[in-house]
Structure 1
Amino acid sequence: GEPVIHGFTRSFGLRLPDGERFEWVKPIMFSAGVGQMDDRHSDKGEPEKGMLVVKVGGPAYRIGIGGGAASSRVQSSENADLDFDAVQRGDAEMENRMNRLMRACCDLGERNPIVSVHDQGAGGNGNVLKEITEPAGAEYDIRKVLVGDPTLSVLEIWGAEYQENNALLIRPSDEDLFRSLAKRENCPISILGTITGDGRVVVRDSRDGSTPVDLPLELVLGKMPQKTFVDDHIPNEGRLKPLSLPDGTTVSGALDRVLRLLGVGSKRFLVHKVDRSVTGLVAQQQCVGPLQLPLSNVGVTAHTHFGTTGTAVACGEQPIKGLVDSAAMARMTVAEAMTNLMWAKISKLEDVKASGNWMYAAKLPGEGAKMYDACEALRDSLLALGCGIDGGKDSLSMAAKCGDEVVKAPGELTLTCYVTCPDVTKTVTPDLKCPASCGGKTKMLFIDLGGGKARLGGSALAQVYGQVGDDSPDMETFSTLKAAFLATQDLIEKGVILAGHDRSDGGLVTVLLEMAFAGNCSIDVMIPDAGGEIATLFNEEAGLVIEVSESDATAVMDAYKSVGVPCVDIGTASSGSDSIKISVGSSSPCVDDKMTALRDVWEATSFKLEMRQRNPECVAQEEAGLKSRKAPNWMLTYTPTPTDSAVMEGATKHKVAIIRQEGSNGDREMISAFLAAGFEAWDVSVADLLSENVTLDEFRGVVFVGGFSYADVLDSGKGWAGVIKFNKRV
């Protein structure tokens, strides 16, 4: 029941000039979530003697055994069986049930029975059951842990990293309330033990009377000795060479390659298989413009169905540049995250927080030193911006053994920024608008945040020619980035920016083309020369391109220049034609083609991948129709108006039961819709009906919501229907 509204993807495999191979043989799947909570529940309560330690969620299986250890060493075929056992398996339906139980507790406000909560991850029970009780200590019976496999040993029960599981602390007086909530959501719970207050974690086995674990928490959590890691920087001399393009390389030839690169081209093949609207709170998802191309800079969600405040989230990551300079990579990662986030109107820059995810082969020579340099650069960058980093994760064994060769993944820092939005409707998207009010013609402005430099190291251009280069883009002056961020926010508040996009993978030429692709528009621009056509168009220094009306162009340029940010008029965008003209300096156009033809190239790799996962005939039809596709003529046959106040304020309203089953979603937005229409909407689970806590004869209407009941297996709807049909009480 969760939407996916923002993301990135890339691929890479290359030998450096010294023969070292970098590739994601050991792949990365990155995910992050953003939500909101009642401030009353933001701090964990301290463990007190007599409190109950509870596990909620699915049973233990022989999965994720030693997962934390397995993810901390080089992957190879010699330990494939161990790796398989270490893999965690997800159970989305159980996750849904557990989350509903957690939400039900939080919805009680001051009566929330949860004192403290801790998610189970690396180390399984052996970690989460120690950490949640620190420093008080607890005693457990290992046989109280719910198991799905009776052959599990005590060691496996204690160490398995099975997912969809949380540990909680509750007071004994709240046990009955908590059990009733869990029963309603059909979420398994088990009370494993109690807080003892003696500072020890003790695990007993009631089956044989043994005590497998008896440790002072202070030694295993509090006074662990600091570990010192020693690494040396490996000089770049001999490892890297300057970028050298083949003789006769043209802008059009380079552009054809770059637009087909996975990290630059369309991500259509990804966004078509995820839900981008569930919850009814998604204000900005990946797709923008009349053709809904996946090009949004930022994801935005509303806090409620009845207001316009919300949260913005945006990512930054530039791993290939880290092969040249890891510190520059970190700074460019921050710059990318900020130039993505700035298109949503936020509360203020100081409210921005970030989660940093590090994926490095840090135990191999030279890689730990690179990561240290990147970490220092990240710290300094965020301090310069006045933003905080308050979370993160790491995987420091990103290497795999292929035959006799160790293949390292490029060091990756993914920075996910999130911040509150006072108005989710004030979000700028990359698609050119060229509104009729402007005569179908607008101005394109370029804001260069790279100090006029045009470095090509670690760029998409270098990658498509099988190189890395030796001079990476960098963000030397964060004061300029900060000034640009604040100026852009002010202009968004005034409503003068029609479209905006950041310069990143693929360079300025890609920015311009993507804005035209998404808006189904033409452009005619001339870019100041920064060192030749190819360097000017394909460098990936930080920068912005915005679309404004001709009448606002001068004032917008003055707004940026007044805070020391360079901003130049580079040309026009227009609707009703199919043309791309891009010049560098005063020369004739180096890109002169149909917009639809270039868009086909940008979409080509995505459609090739789609052919491998969907009906090829359908994919071919979709690809062929893209050239002539226009925006749908959206129109309502009525004018929406709020429900009459007499109905909303009436003493009696029609009662409607919104019925859900395990795994259902869409119920909360359905409730909101009925509330907005003036009904008295009730959340009714099938469990309520089976227990006869609720009967339907008191309702005037019944609504069955959609979603993924019973894990969305084939015929899952029959399971839901069967529970009702074959139960006489219902």
Structure 2
Amino acid sequence: MDTPAVDTTALAEQTPDQVQPYAELGLADDEYARIREILGRRPTDAELAMYSVMWSEHCSYKSSKKHLAYFGETTTPEMRSKMLAGIGENAGVVDIGDGWAVTFKVESHNHPSYVEPYQGAATGVGGIVRDILAMGARPLAVADPLRFGPADAPDTRRVLPGVVAGIAGYGNCLGLPNIGGEVVFDPSYAGNPLVNALCVGAMRVEDLHLAHASGVGNKIILFGARTGLDGIGGVSVLASDTFSGDENSGGRKKLPSVQVGDPFTEKVLIECSLELFAKKLVVGIQDLGGAGLACATSELAAAGDGGMHIDLDRVPLRAEGMTPAEILSSESQERMCAVVRPSDVDAFMEVCRKWDVTATVIGEVTDGDRLVIDWHGQTVVDVPPRTVAHQGPVYDRPYARPAEQDDLQADTPDKLARPSTPEELRETLLRMISSPNLASKEWVTQQYDRYVRGNTVLAQPSDSGMIRIDESTGRGVAVATDCNSRYVYLDPYVGTQLALAEAYRNVATSGATPMAVTNCLNFGSPRDPGVMWQFERAVHGLADGCAQLGIPVTGGNVSFYNQTGDKAILPTPVVGVLGVIDDVRRRIPTGIGTEPGESLLLLGETHDEFGGSAWAQVIHDHLGGLPPKVDLERERLLAEILVAGSRDGMISAAHDVSDGGLAQTIVEMALIGQCGARIVLDPDVDPFVQLFSESAGRVLVAVPRTEELRFTEMCSARGLPWRKTGVVDPESNAVEIQDVADFSLDELREAWEGTLPALFA
């Protein structure tokens, strides 16, 4: 390739009227005009590429930033006291005691996973793992909340197996247990599957690393995989046919593509990075994910105390003739960017050689305030880094409650025919537990290695995943992700608080104390005022709920434009909750069967609440009314009771009551524990309501006979309603619901476990 005769920045000054494909790159007219105003000239092709990807919705949060600020407004000093890093960092970090810190985050990889399910999902796992690594932590486990179109749709049969295989293929090769997540089916996700990925990692408090380039003269080292053409536009808006002009693109197409992952390269990169951290050879660190080098260099420089100079000729490439715009925008996987003191460069390189990781000094920190990037001896980028990384456009999108919301809420399920006879109740239960959303997800989770490394304590199908952090003390953490998008659609504020409440409850059900929150906010187009109303209400619901529970939002992700034409997905703000347990040996399992005669106690209150319920969906294909009420103070009390019961050995099994109601909870506890039970319903309450209501704030616990009095007295003293609902019967091979029906475990297992294999095996 010929070297340009003049710097491209100079050429840009000399050719102000040259037409540039900014619209094809996703930039609006006023955004392009603002870039020209910032630079005092038109941008070079490389600068245009950087601004376009960094000002994309995915990277800049330009439509959501205004609303996300509410998280900061509602976070109290007490909530911040345990946070070591929060919103704005690669991942949130909390102090869990004994010198340990835990970092966790959930992000989306939705659109790439629809285009190419295997690689889209695989690189989603790889990207979130590197976010955790970039904080200085060892990644310990992953979880994947997934949403697909109808389970029997042909396109779901294309997308789901590829997504699951991608998650398994990447995570299993990394040796990271997959301990949780969800699999949900709904017509609104047809063409817009949601593939969210969570990772949790741990480190000593003093080992925390942040993304900043400080110290004039410090070197910028790119290490890991070589940079190629894969992934350009993978999570951003690079959708132009050509780059023309400054960088002599030669008319090559830059079509958006899905990144290609190599888990074995990432595994070595993880171990190499951890050794570099341990030897104190890193001043600042940033992973290369969305927007690639454009993001890493601009964010490191923007967060530092000076400028930065980069020489693109030094970047190791795996494709010939790449232009500066392509090198900067490539989202090739398994790459990291480190800031290193000159005196530590040789030691840094020696560690990389030991792990056979390619490492190259590509630049240094300067004493200016500009990010300057050269290529072939010419300057192709000369920008204020904060304008790229942090000063993108911020939109105050119009939002309004949809006119049809009133009609939606008025369309209650009260008019729907309810089962009343024992035969009808029996048929309803079997139909419910075999429906795709309530059926066992073992076909999916068996493809994941849930117990690799030997520190997994709980995993699917438990309410939350739990891993041991410290083998000497048994200290561990639990994570759960939840969202019932049908509830959120009916009432975004309450529905999001119900998602928070369920994840919070699921963590407490394992015996862990809920401590922090992450989120992945999946919505339709922000240009739709109705969607923005859903988003605004959801953010406020989550922030207010966290403030009431006293646990902070430490970070997360926003994914907009999840829709086909004018049909948006159901609003899906996935909420992840992290909990801490001082000794994993006292965790509470999900399945019953420890000893004969244990009492089954239903904690909480049951009401006639079926708006957005699984029963309304499965039996009547109905969505309308209001979701269940949420009482966060009751959720806090319930969590305290569960943690106390775990600590004092009073609970032998527990399972929250949510989708599908008490019937679903009983069936799952019996099948997971391979143990029978006898259930006695309240004769004064409609059996249908008792079995299928989805009232929040409820958990079914198994309590040893020797602990029943002590436990129930504690509940009564604290004001938590409870009712004895049955007994555990290990000698029985059935679930007997008095005055309703008897179900053999074999019959229940066939109904619960047979659905997904029949659809996808």
Q: TM-score range by the shorter chain?
A: 0.7 to 0.9
- Please give the per-residue CA displacement for 1:101-159, whole angstroms capped at 9, x wherever unaligned: 11111233xxx101111122222211111101224221111121121111322211111
1:455 corresponds to which of 609, 624, 630: 609
Instruction: Please report the RMSD computed on the Cα atoms of aligned residues, expressed in angstroms.
Output: 2.4
Note the 1:93-108 alignment, pairs <5 A.
93-108=264-279
Paired residue for 2:570? 410
Task: Extract unaligned runs of 5+ from structure 2.
Answer: 1-174, 241-251
Q: Report matched runs for 1:277-426 at 5 Å.
A: 277-286=451-460, 295-346=461-512, 348-349=513-514, 352-363=515-526, 364-401=528-565, 406-426=566-586
| Residue type at the aligned position of 1:427 | R
Cα distance change of structure 1 residues 23 and 468 upon mapping to structure 2, 3 Å threshold: farther
Within a 5 Å distance, the mapping from 1:415-564 to structure 2 comes to: 415-435=575-595, 440-448=596-604, 451-528=605-682, 532-542=686-696, 543-564=698-719
Shift of 1:282: 1.8
Deviates more, 1:226-235 or 1:504-513: 226-235
3-state DSSP of counterpart to 2:520: strand
How many pairs were matched up?
Answer: 565
CA distance in 1, matches of 2:238, 2:321: 25
Secondary structure (helix, strand or coil) at the match of 2:182 reads coil
Q: What is the match of residue 754 of structure 2?
A: 604
In the TM superposition, 1:54-93 aligns within 5 A as 54-70=221-237, 85-93=256-264
Task: Tell me which amino acid in the other structure corresponds to 1:105.
Answer: L
Report the Cα distance in structure 1 between the residues aligned to 2:554 and 2:382, rounded to whole angstroms.
33
Normalising by the residue count of structure 1, what TM-score does the alignment of the two structures yield?
0.74
Check conservation: 2:511, 2:642, Cα contact below 8 A: no
Tell me what 1:573 maps to.
Answer: 728
1:114 is aligned with what amino acid? Answer: V
Distance 1:362 1:368 in 2: 8
Could you tell me which residue of structure 2 aligns to residue 133 of structure 1?
301
1:247–1:508: structure 2 CA closer, same or farther, 3 Å change rule? closer
- For 1:599-643, what per-residue CA distance to the aligned partner results, in whole angstroms no more than 9, with x for missing partners? 21011113314xx44xxxxxxxxxxxxxxxxxxxxxxxxxxxxxx
Q: Deviations over 1:227-261 (max 9, x none)?
A: 21112110313346222435767222322221122
What residue is the counterpart of 2:381 in the other structure? Answer: 213
- Native 8 Å contact 1:97 1:185 kept in 2: yes
Structure-2-length-normalised TM-score: 0.71
Query: What displacement does 1:430 show?
Result: 1.3
CA distance, structure 2, for counterparts of residue 261 and residue 186 of structure 1? 49
CA distance in 2 between counterparts of 1:574 and 1:335 reads 31
Show the counterpart of 2:354: 184
Do 1:280 and 1:305's aligned partners in 2 also have CA atoms closer than 8 Å?
A: no
CA distance in 1, matches of 2:453, 2:634: 38
The residue aligned with 1:41 is 207
Give how far 1:530 is off. 8.6
Q: Distance in 2 between matches of 1:253 and 1:452?
A: 22
Q: Compared with structure 1, are the counterparts of its residues 544 and 248 closer, same or farther at alpha carbon in structure 2 (3 Å cutoff)?
A: closer
Cα contact 2:269–2:334 (8 A) shared by 1: yes
Structure 2 CA distance for partners of 1:307 and 1:552, relative to 1, 3 Å: closer
Deviations 1:434-477 (A, max 9, x none): 41xxxx221110012xx542311222112213534323434432
Contact 1:324 1:468 in 2 (8 A): no
Residue 222 of structure 1: CA displacement? Answer: 4.8
- Tell whether 2:430 aligns with 1:270: no
1:60-92 Cα shifts (integer Å, max 9, x gaps): 22222122334999xxxxxxx999733222210
For the pair 1:142 / 2:312, whether they are aligned, the reply is yes
1:113 corresponds to 2:263? no
CA distance in 1, matches of 2:554, 2:311: 35
Q: Structure 1: any 5+ residue segments left out of the alignment? A: 14-21, 74-80, 287-294, 614-730
Once the 2 structures are TM-superposed, how far is the Cα of residue 226 of structure 1 from its aligned partner? 3.3
In 2, the alpha carbon distance for the partners of 1:83 and 1:558 equals 67
Q: Secondary structure at the match of 2:706?
A: coil
Counterpart amino acid of 1:53?
Answer: I
Contact 1:319-1:411 within 8 A present in 2 as well: yes
Q: SS of 2:637's equivalent?
A: helix
- Does structure 2 conserve the Cα–Cα contact (< 8 Å) formed by 1:322 and 1:458? no
Change (3 A) 1:71 1:273: farther
- Residue 501 of structure 1, CA deviation: 0.3
Deviation at 1:95, TM superposition (A): 0.8
Q: Distance in 1 between matches of 2:419 and 2:545?
A: 40
How far does the alpha carbon of each residue in 1:369-428 deviate from its partner, in whole angstroms, 9 at most, with x for none? 111101101111111111111011121111124xxxx43222111112223321011111
CA distance in 2, matches of 1:103, 1:281: 19
Cα distance, 1:278 vs structure 2:
1.6
Equivalence for 2:155: none
State the 1:343 CA deviation.
Answer: 3.0
Task: Write the deviation string for residues 628-674 of structure 1: whole angstroms up to 9, x where unpaired.
Answer: xxxxxxxxxxxxxxxxxxxxxxxxxxxxxxxxxxxxxxxxxxxxxxx
What is the deviation of 1:357? 0.7
8 Å CA contact retained: 2:590, 2:653: yes
Q: Is the 8 A contact 2:237 2:256 kept in 1?
A: no
Structure 2 equivalent of residue 622 of structure 1: none
Q: Is the 8 A contact 1:25 1:407 kept in 2?
A: no
Cα drift, residue 549 of structure 1:
1.9
How far apart in 1 are the matches of 2:755 and 2:523?
28
Q: Is the 8 A contact 1:345 1:423 kept in 2?
A: no
Counterpart check, 1:159 vs 2:329: yes
Task: Please state how far the C-alpha of 1:593 moved relative to its aligned partner.
Answer: 2.2
- Is the CA contact (8 Å cut-off) linking 1:11 and 1:263 kept in structure 2? yes
Distance 1:355 1:257, change over 3 A: same
Amino acid at match of 2:317: V
Pick closer, same or farther for the CA change 1:478–1:239 going to 2, 3 Å: closer
Greater Cα shift, 389-398 or 551-560: 551-560
Q: Is the CA contact (8 Å cut-off) linking 2:408 and 2:490 kept in structure 1?
A: no
Judged with a 3 Å threshold, the aligned counterparts in structure 2 of structure 1 residues 357 and 201 are, in CA distance, closer, same or farther, namely same
CA contact (8 A) 1:124 1:160 kept: yes
Between structures 1 and 2, the one with greater helix share: 2
Distance 1:24 1:353, change over 3 A: farther
Preserved contact between residue 650 and residue 703 of structure 2 (Cα < 8 Å): yes
Partners of 1:248 and 1:333 lie apart in 2 by 28
